């Protein structure tokens, strides 16, 4: 596949917005995709918040391998005030986040005559679940949500109660991917718009990755019979299993690609983590 390079103009503006407003914020909640914690960790954000209190949230944990998520939690604990595992869609982990914020708030206000509210910023790449988390924290549909990257717009302060205030900003993405695999990981998980790439090529790359460590999931889901197939043969076997054929018996690669990508992203295929906290990250 060609190297993915997607950096809409509003993403650049968001980076400038975060930099301008960071001085008003006490703590940053860094939202990562538990399936790809490194690829979804924006290096621009990392540079911007280097001197801020930080909470790392491994979101979409219901889609990731729980054993690997536990390893990532230990990994990030060395550099953060707290590390939480979350599924913001159903709200698991949200109470733990509020408790962590309250501890930081109380620590900051200890010994102070005038108690100041804690000001929070949530940051993350597109489609990592930021709007769903904000909705859970506010208890209402105050932030626009969607299942495509880049749907959130604008800036607003939201009151979470308990003297905690949230600065809502859109997710951001870096201008280019130094490691092509990082771009692929983000594309696999839906953080890069599908319209920017060839879906058949993307699905073939995903099947290649899944065949390395998770072939059994492919085998079970699509009733495959030959684990020695090449990734392309596996993709064609999936099409045959589902009856995704065009006139003349030709493979419908686009429909097959959409199915594989959708079932991976939704967790229908199984709980899969694509990155590991070791020297063998990819």
Contacts of 10 (CB under 8 A, 6+ apart): 150, 153, 170
Q: 9-168: what fold?
A: Rossmann fold (3.40.50)
pTM value is 0.86
Query: What local confidence, expressed as pLDDT, does residue 105 receive?
Result: 94
Rounded to whole angstroms, how far apart are CA atoms 236 and 69?
32
Query: What local confidence, expressed as pLDDT, does residue 171 receive?
Result: 53
Rounded to whole angstroms, how far apart are CA atoms 71 and 68?
5
Residues carrying CATH 1.10.1580.10, the chain: 198-265
Query: What local confidence, expressed as pLDDT, does residue 174 receive?
Result: 59
Contact 208, 231 (CB under 8 A): yes
HSE of 61 in the Cβ direction (CA atoms, 13 Å)? 24
Nearest CA among 112, 148, 110, 126 for reference residue 45: 126
Instruction: Read off the pLDDT of residues 249-270 as tens digits, 9 standing for 90 and up.
Output: 999 999 999 999 999 999 999 9
pLDDT in tens, the chain (282 residues): 555 555 555 666 767 777 777 878 899 999 999 999 999 987 777 777 778 899 999 999 999 999 999 999 999 998 888 999 999 999 999 999 999 999 999 998 998 888 899 999 888 888 899 889 988 998 864 444 444 554 444 457 788 888 999 987 655 655 456 788 888 999 999 988 888 889 999 999 999 999 999 999 999 999 998 888 899 999 999 999 999 999 999 999 999 999 999 999 999 999 999 999 974 444
Rounded to whole angstroms, how far apart are CA atoms 268 and 202?
18
**Coil/strand/helix, residue 165:** strand
Query: What local confidence, expressed as pLDDT, does residue 126 receive?
Result: 82
Residues carrying CATH 3.40.50.300, the chain: 9-168
Architecture of domain 198-265: Orthogonal Bundle (1.10)
């Amino acid at each position: 596949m060609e190297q993915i390079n997607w950096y809409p103009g509003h993403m650049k503006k968001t980076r400038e917005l975060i930099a301008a407003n960071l001085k008003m914020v006490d703590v940053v909640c860094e939202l990562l995709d538990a399936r790809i914690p490194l690829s979804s960790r924006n290096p621009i954000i990392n540079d911007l918040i280097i001197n801020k209190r930080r909470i790392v949230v491994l979101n979409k944990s219901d889609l990731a391998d729980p054993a690997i998520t536990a390893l990532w939690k230990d990994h990030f604990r060395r550099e953060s005030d707290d590390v939480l595992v979350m599924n913001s869609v159903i709200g698991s982990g949200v109470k733990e986040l509020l408790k962590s914020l309250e501890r930081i708030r109380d620590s900051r206000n200890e010994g102070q005559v005038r108690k100041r509210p804690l000001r929070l910023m949530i940051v993350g790449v597109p489609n990592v679940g930021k709007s769903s988390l904000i909705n859970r924290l506010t208890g209402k549909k105050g932030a626009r949500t969607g299942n495509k990257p880049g749907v959130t717009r604008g800036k607003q302060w939201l009151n979470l109660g308990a003297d905690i205030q949230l600065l809502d900003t859109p997710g951001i993405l870096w201008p280019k991917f130094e490691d092509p695999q990082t771009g692929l990981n983000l594309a696999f998980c839906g953080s890069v718009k599908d319209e920017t790439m060839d879906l058949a090529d993307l699905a073939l790359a995903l099947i290649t990755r899944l065949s390395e460590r998770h072939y059994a999931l492919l085998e079970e889901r699509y009733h495959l019979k030959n684990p020695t197939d090449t990734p392309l043969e596996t993709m064609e076997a999936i099409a045959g299993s589902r009856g995704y054929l065009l006139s003349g018996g030709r493979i419908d690669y686009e429909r097959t690609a959409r199915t594989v990508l959708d079932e991976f992203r939704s967790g229908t295929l199984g709980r899969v983590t694509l990155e590991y906290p070791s020297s063998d990250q990819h």
